[in-house]
Amino acid sequence: MGNFVFDLIGKNIVAALVICIIPLVFILPYALIAILGELKIGAWMQDRVGPMRTGWKGVLQPVAEVVKLLQKEDITPTIANKPLFNLAPFIVFIGAFAAFAVLPFSEKFIPSGINLGLFFVFAVGSFAVIGIVMGGWASNNKYSLLGAMRSVAQIISYELPAGMVFLSIATIAGTLDMQTIILNQSGPIWNWYIFGGPQGGAIKFLFIPFFVILFIVYLISSLAETNRTPFDIPEGESEIVAGYHTEYSGMKFAMFFMAEYANMYVVSAIIVILFLGGWSSPFGTSFMDGPIWGIFWMVGKAFFFVFVQIWLRWTLPRLRVDQLMYLGWKVLLPLSIACFMAIAFLAMIN
């Protein structure tokens, strides 16, 4: 546990800056890869070949798209509220970026090893909604307003089941510190929380169904929090054009775009940390384990869930607002509360 940058160059301002920059250095290439993945996987699932012109088999397509967005005219509607309009994309991006402060990448590197990691992620996760409302309201566009309103309702209702999931894990792990949660799950693969957690004996099998349900609950609510299909109603392009970012163009649109992809990684990383052992190797502590392999496992597992999100996007239709609320309040929340109570009870008798 800890931060190897501090070990390396001491606790000074340079080290602090380096630590700030490392997630950004990660996000930019990651966003490019994720965009390429979205384009290519989407195309392959639809029997297409996807972009093929830029670079070998089109691998440079995301770079081209970013360059295109950079040179595009930055349009601000004349009747928009300019300060809010300009500020909104950055706030949305900050919300996604701040979560990286507590996301561990390996045993040896976590930008800030605070012991309220899960709580912090939860808190800054709701930060984005302010940016979205600002953007939607300041655009002075009816479609944007509708999108922003939908987004608020959606993110707020899906934070509750997500919160219950966090709570359940915190109950069983006894901490909100991500590194400790991961350390709890280190060792063989059946120590992961989705397989019942580190405790042994028959009671382990009682835990499994509840953890699996919680896992699915969190997977669904994470989709809703990142505005991905089937919960992309705030930007549902067939209904309200592009939702809250209808009026954005150029770099500001790119910020929204990047925030979405950064958020995808954040929620995938949380899933991995909570249920799939974070950076710990599935082969136990003896094989392919260690700080460097830790980065591989952490990012690799998270990328798998990014893939799942892309996969779902190209499979499912979109929900309607009231159905979204139904699913959030009447299905996910009771399920997660029931699982939380069951797990708390089991943890007590364990």
Partner 1 sequence: MVKYFKDILLGFWTIMVGMKITMDHLFQKKVTMQYPERFDPIDTGFMPDNSRNKLFVDIDDCNGCGGCERDCPVNCITVETVKTVPSDGPITIKSGAKRTLWVLKHEIDYSKCCFCSLCVESCATSAIFHTKEFDYSGYDRNELKHDFVSYSDEEKQKKLDNFVAYQIVKKQEDAAKKAADEAAKAAAAQITK
Partner 2 sequence: MERKFIEYDFGRVDSERMRLNVGPQHPSTHGVLRLEIELEGEIVTDVIPHIGYLHRCFEKYCEQMQYPQVIPYIDRLDYIASMNNEWPFVMGVEKMMNIQVPERVEYIRVIFAELNRIANHQIAVATFGMDAGAFTPFLYLFRDREMILNLFEHTSGARLLYNYFWVGGLAHDVPPNFKDTALNIIKTVRATNEEVMRLLMGNKIFVERTVKVGILPADVAINFACSGPVLRGSGVEWDLRKAQPYSIYDRFDFNVCVGSNEIGVIGDSWNRNIVRMNEMEQSCRIIEQAIAQMPNEGDVREKFPKKVRPPKGEIYCSAENPKGELGFYLVADGGNKPFRLKSRPTSFVNLAVLPEICKGYMVADLILILGSIDIVLGEVDR
Q: What are the residues binding partner 1 (CB under 8 A)?
A: 41, 43-49, 52, 216, 311-312, 314-316, 331
Question: Which CB sits closer to partner 1, 39 or 183?
Answer: 39
* Smallest separation (angstroms) from partner 1 to the CB of 104: 29
Evaluated on CA atoms 35, 118, 160, 216, the torsion sign reads: positive
**Which entry of partner 2, partner 1, none binds 201, CB below 5 to 8 A by partner kind?**
none
Tell whether residue 342 is a contact of partner 2 (CB under 8 A). Answer: no
Nearer to partner 1, 94 or 325 (CB): 325
Site string for partner 2, 166-205 (x = CB under 8 A): ----------------------------------------
Burial category of 239 from C-beta neighbours within 10 Å (exposed 0-12, middle 13-18, buried 19 and up): middle
Residue in 26, 119, 314, 329 binding partner 2, rule: CB under 8 A: 314
Q: Applying CB under 8 A, what is the total number of residues that bind partner 2?
A: 30
Quick check: 72 binds partner 2 (CB under 8 A)?
no
CB 221 within 8 A of CB 158: yes
DSSP bridge partners of 283: 188
Residue 173: CB minimum distance to partner 1, A: 27
Nearer to partner 1, 20 or 59 (CB): 59
Task: Give min distance, CB of 77 to partner 2, in A.
Answer: 16
For partner 2, the closer of residues 143 and 215 by Cβ is 143
Helix axes 117-125, 142-173, angle to 10 degrees: 170
The string over 8-46, giving b where at least 16 C-beta atoms fall within 10 Å of a residue's C-beta and e elsewhere, is: eeeeeeebeebbeeebeebbeebbbebbbbbbbbebeee
Q: What DSSP string runs through 189-221?
A: GGGSGGGT-S--STHHHHHHHHHHHHHHHHHHH
68 binds, among partner 2, partner 1, none (CB under 5 to 8 A by kind): none
Q: Find the binding residues for partner 2 in span 213-232 (CB under 8 A).
A: 229-230, 232
Does residue 155 interact with partner 2 by CB under 8 A? no
Q: Where are the beta strands (DSSP E) in 143-289?
A: none
Residues 57, 34, 151, 211, CA torsion sign: positive
Which of 10, 34, 5, 33 lies closest to 20 in space, CA to CA?
5
Binding site for partner 2 (CB under 8 A): 42, 45-48, 142-143, 146, 150, 229-230, 232-233, 236-241, 314-323, 326
